Amino acid sequence: MAGLYHLWYKDSEQQSFRFFNDNREWKQIDKIGHALSSFYLSYGASKALQWTQMPEKKCDLVGASLGFLLLVPIEIFDGFSEAYGASTGDLIADAGGSLLYLGQKKLWNEPRIFPKFSFHTTRYASIRPNTLGDSYLSQVLKDYNGQTYWLSFDIDKFIQFPKWLNLAAGYGAEGMVYARDLQNRLQGYRAYRQYYLSLDFDLKSIKSKSKVVNTLLFFANIIKLPAPAFSFSNNGTTFRALYF
């Protein structure tokens, strides 16, 4: 939270706490980021609670609740920041990520669909560095043009398929120098959504005798590795030999 405050909020003026409707901004890319975060916080919290010998179903329920509650401070930061405002859309997305984890545990006793993240730098950040990031780390968080969010399907859990190979569906957007479509059009930019279909590599399928190695592989698996992909948008269908 301290790091997030330094990167995102420290230059913002403070205000009385308020809510702000940002559901039409940034093509909802930020909302998907909230859902990904709450999914993995729920997953991690449940795993941690299982070490205490608490029943697994109870761990999943408490873990999913914690996954949601741990992101509430971000809305508190937003609510007191003059540049933002707390968002009900963000809270709904936080709940959605936790439910994506809990729902799969209820349905299959395990997660089989994992949200993932990839990022590439874009030319848009240099146009508005205060908003889209003035360093690589800040751009990873702020430049929604370069962010792609994925759902990676463990196909081998449904049909006979290589354990190390997944199929992934992705979502992103480009042309967003400003938050809303009208703002972009008035400045000569055309914001548009992009959808992807790609192969993915399941690092969880690599098993080691070392718990440290297995933990590192789990965290690395949150990143969608470069792979061939089809992209679909208003510009048509494009094949990319390697997309990240």
Check residue 200 and give its pLDDT. 98
Per-residue pLDDT tens for 134-161? 999 999 999 999 999 999 999 999 999 9
Check residue 8 and give its pLDDT. 76
Distance between CA atoms of residues 242 and 192, nearest Å: 21
For 35, phi then psi, to 5°, come to -65, -40
Output the pTM of the full model.
0.93
Tokens of 221: 């698996």
Check residue 9 and give its pLDDT. 82
Check residue 3 and give its pLDDT. 83
Task: Judge contact between 201 and 166, C-beta under 8 A.
Answer: yes
Check residue 183 and give its pLDDT. 97
Per-residue pLDDT tens for 17-26? 999 999 999 9
Residue 12 pLDDT > 90, yes or no?
no
Residue 42 pLDDT > 80, yes or no?
yes
Closest CA to 27 of 78, 85, 89: 89
Distance between CA atoms of residues 77 and 68, nearest Å: 16
Tokens of 60: 């999943």
Residue 7 pLDDT > 80, yes or no?
no
Tokens of 229: 């992909």
Residue 81 carries which DSSP code?
B
Per-residue pLDDT tens for 181-191? 999 999 999 99
Residue 101, classed as helix, strand or coil, is helix
Task: Judge contact between 28 and 92, C-beta under 8 A.
Answer: no
Distance between CA atoms of residues 189 and 181, nearest Å: 9
Average pLDDT, whole number, for the chain?
A: 95
